[in-house]
Amino acid sequence: MGFCAHSQKKTELALDKEGIKIYLTKFDTTAFREYKAVMTVHANIDTIVKQLIDVKSLQKWNFKNRHSELVKKVSDTSWIFYIVHHLGWPIQERDNVSRVTLINKGNERIITITPDNRLLKEKEGRVRLTNFKGFWYLKRIDAKQTLVIQQVYGDPGGMIPAFMVNMVVTKGPFDSFKALRRHVENLNKK
């Protein structure tokens, strides 16, 4: 399920905590690492998918998501999202315009995320993320359990040194996965 165009160097388990595993991959051609986060959630696959494609829901669980909005509905399975990430002083806010596409395959759902910067101009005071790619992979284990995997490679742009990004590359996915699990499991109980 790898997709990064960089030549792969080494993948290692970087974090295994609270039922969440995060793997990091180093590449020969870039200093930034790709992550893959994995967990099993006690929630129906459709409940999780709804939260992943509901742009307003992202603010409830996505790490450092200050603002998210729907730019355009392309079809019933494809959308353009605008997302702002507030990383805290002294780092400038980051934003991205993403094409989000849902693919249904039996007991599996794949949601791809790619840059799509044609519809919105860059905003002053924010660094636009343009070099990223990712996906969510969900597999129904049974009616009440789902395997959830997210894999993302991204260059944060601007003046953040790669070593600083790589020092915290597990925090974002770990915090997001914990919050997503709590959010969808609570929704599933209703």
Predicted pLDDT at 2: 47
Nearest-angstrom CA–CA distance, 68 and 86: 12
- What single letter denotes the amino acid at residue 161? P
The pLDDT tens digits for 93-142 are 889 999 999 999 999 999 999 999 888 999 998 999 999 999 999 999 99
CATH of domain 13-189: 3.30.530.20
Predicted pLDDT at 174: 96
Predicted pLDDT at 33: 87
Which stretches in the chain have pLDDT values below 70?
1-8, 88-89, 166-167, 190
Predicted pLDDT at 1: 45
Q: How far is CA 96 from CA 12, 68, 85, 145, 168, in A?
A: 28, 10, 9, 31, 20
- What single letter denotes the amino acid at residue 5? A
- What single letter denotes the amino acid at residue 111? I
Residue by residue, DSSP assigns the chain as ----SSPEEEEEEEEEETTEEEEEEEESS-SSPEEEEEEEESS-HHHHHHHHH-TTTHHHHSTTEEEEEEEEEEETTEEEEEEEE---TTSPEEEEEEEEEEEEETTEEEEEEEE-TTSS---TTEEEP-EEEEEEEEEEEETTEEEEEEEEEEE--TT--HHHHHHSTTHHHHHHHHHHHHHHHHHHH-
